[in-house]
Copies of this chain bind each other. A is one copy, B any other.
Amino acid sequence: MTLKIGVIGTGAIGREHIRRITNNLSGGRITAVTDVNQEAAKAVVEQFGLDAVVYPDDRTLIASEQVDAILVTSWGPAHQASVMAGIEAAKYVFCEKPLATTAEGCRSIVDAEIKFGRRLVQVGFMRRYDNGYIQLKEAIDSNYIGEPLMIRCAHRNPSVDEGYTTDMAITDTLIHEIDVLHWLINDDYSSVQVTYPKKTRHASSHLRDPQLVTLETAKGIVISAEIFVNCKYGYDIQCEVIGEEGIVKLPEVASITYRKEAKLGVHLLMDWKQRFLDAYDRELQDFIDSIRKHGQPQGPTSWDGYIAAVTADACVKAQESGHRETIVFGEKPELYRDYEVSFHRV
C-alpha cells in the first residue's frame, strides 16, 4: 500500500523531497501540500504534475484522510507545532532538522510521543544513511578496531555568506556530526570545550572561523571536531575513528583519478548538496519502507533530536565561556532504547 504523504513547507528542501519521492523512490506518493505562501504550494503541484491537494495550513493538511505521513520542511521555528499536531493526529512525521529550536521544545515532542506510546517521528539526520558512515558503524560494531578511543573529524565548507554567525557553526554545521557521532559510537556526550585557532582572513568580521570543538563522552571517548566554513578549497567531510586495535576512516568521495599538468589527483566537491545525495534518498526510502513494513519509522528518533538540541546548547555555551561545559540529558526513555538501524552495505 502506497504511503500518502503531505508536505508542510514547499521551499527548496521541501521541493527536493517532493522530487525525490515522486521520481526516484518507491512506495510513497505526495497527496497534499501546504505552505505559508499558497501560490508557491500550488506552483509545486503543477511543477511536478502531482495529484495532490493544496491545503491552507498544516492543521487542515494533517487532518486530511489523504495524509498518512507528513514531511515537515517549513522554516525551523515552525517545526515544533507541526510535529506536535502530527503526533496528536497519530500521523507519521518526517521532520527536517531542527526537530524544535529549543531543547525544551524537543523534550515536549519526546513526551508527546511517549504518551502516544509508539514511534511516529523520524528526524532528518541523513548522514546515518551515508554508505561511508554505515561502513564505519559496521566496523565499530563488529569490533574491527576494538574499543573506540578517539574520533578526529572535520566539517569544511568553501565559504558561507555574511549572515552566518559563530553559533551557526554549531547549530547549522556541527549539528550533523553531533547526531551521527553518538550513533556511531553508541555513547552519550558528557562535556564540550571550544578552542578558536587563528582566524582565516576569509571569514566575515563577526565570525570565528575555524573552530575546534572537543567533545567527551560518558565512556571517555574524546572527539576532536574541526569546523571550518571558509576553507576555500572544497566541501569536505572527514571522520576517523581511532580504536584500541586500529583505525577506520571515511572514504573520499569516489571520483575519477586524473594525471594532468604535473598533478595526480581527484576533483573535490564544492557544493555540499552533492555530498549526501544518496543518503537523502535512502533516509526517505527507509522512512517509507519502515512504516509500510513495521508500522513505524526506524531512523533517527525524537530523542536523537533532543540529544542534538541539548548538545548544541552546551557547545554554544562553551563557545562563549571558553571553558569545558558539561552535558546532561537525563535517562533515555524506554521507547527509544534498543533502537539500532541496521543497514547492509551496498
Contact = CB atoms under 8 A, between A and B. Distances in A.
B248 A224 contact: no
Interface residues of A, number: 78
A246 B267 contact: no
A346 to B, nearest CB: 6
Interface centre among A131, A222, A228 (most CB of B within 10 A): A222
Interface stretch (A102-110, A143-151, A170-178, A300-308): A143-151
Given A198-B149, A233-B247, A346 B258 contact: no
Interface centre among A220, A250, A261 (most CB of B within 10 A): A261
A22 B148 CA distance: 39
A254 B257 contact: no
Contacts of A23: 26-27, 289
B258 A139 contact: yes
Contact of A222 (B136, B195, B247, B261): B195
B212 A197 contact: no
Interface string A254-270: 11111111111111111
A202 interface: yes
Interface string A188-215: 0000000111111110000000101010
Given A26-B26, A263-B268, A254 B251 contact: yes
B253 A254 contact: yes
Contacts of A149: 197-200, 210, 228
B260 A233 contact: yes
A268 B261 CA distance: 8
Contacts of A136: 256
A232 interface: yes
Contacts of A26: 22-26
Interface string A226-251: 10100111101000001011111111
Given A195-B222, A197-B221, A228-B242, A257 B266 contact: no
Contacts of A346: 274, 277-278
Nearest to A134: B256
